[in-house]
Structure 1
């Protein structure tokens, strides 16, 4: 049985999403390299700049194995960008947290991502809200956001 044919509009939308993702990843890799980071190291540092996290949670967010995250955090720690701290809720758990230099590096990295920011600047607040809500729906999330 043949797969159902996808309409041209859907194909165009999927292709445009792919182009956006490809451009974003290419720029992200360039920005990471300009700070002597791999893309994975930059992603971990960006996550940790939002909040300290245990290794398992970082792995869940990045959809990878905790052992991979341990190696990434080890390398960031050796560069003085990340430190391990006891979790105040459970002292058996270690949280990875950015150092002052790590937080500063994450901010400079974020500031250098023009592709991630500039095209959206041309959209109104209403258009960005609509785009966000549609993307959340595509991902199967509640358009209103986390509860």
Structure 2
């Protein structure tokens, strides 16, 4: 490989390296808001609306005990609150507080800005093409990969 030449990677290697790059961006942004990446991910998922603990476990790929601790820690910071089901005390929904919503949107915007800057480096490829190519990979719920 000569200077300035990009390495030739296969699709799998490229996807893995891209995932690591996205995780690093998410971690850096999270740290700048005094959050862990997991806390930031949870807040960003809740911008779509309240979710049950079961839905959050699936969305964040966490075990219930890990999620409970995560929710406990950000609830202590007044960023989320639990909403008990009126008839089933076992069912709990988690929702953002006002402060949590502001922070979640700020984190989301910062992550999106960093990712937009990363994608802008792809010469000759527009956002619609990238989105169309990747959407099936992130919306297919038939695999855990």
TM range (shorter): 0.7 to 0.9
Counterpart in the other structure of 1:79: 77
RMSD (Å) for aligned C-alpha atoms: 2.9
TM-score, scaled relative to structure 1: 0.75
Gapped regions of structure 1 (runs ≥ 5): 1-8, 143-147
Q: Kindly state the Cα deviation for residue 17 of structure 1 after the two structures are TM-superposed.
A: 1.9
Structure 2 counterparts to residues 37-76 of structure 1, below 5 A: 37-76=35-74
- Distance in 1 between the 2:36 and 2:138 partners? 27
Query: Which whole-Å deviations, capped at 9, do the CAs of 1:84-132 have from their partners, x for residues lacking one?
Result: 11347x6532210010110111111112123322244578xx9433333
The SS at the match of 1:50 is coil
Counterpart in the other structure of 2:26: 28
Matched length: 132
Alpha-carbon spacing, 1:34–1:91, altered in 2? closer, same or farther (3 Å): same
Alpha-carbon spacing, 1:111–1:139, altered in 2? closer, same or farther (3 Å): closer
Counterpart in the other structure of 1:100: 98
Structure 1 outlier segments of 4+, above 6 Å: none
- Distance in 2 between the 1:12 and 1:43 partners? 29
- Distance in 1 between the 2:10 and 2:22 partners? 18
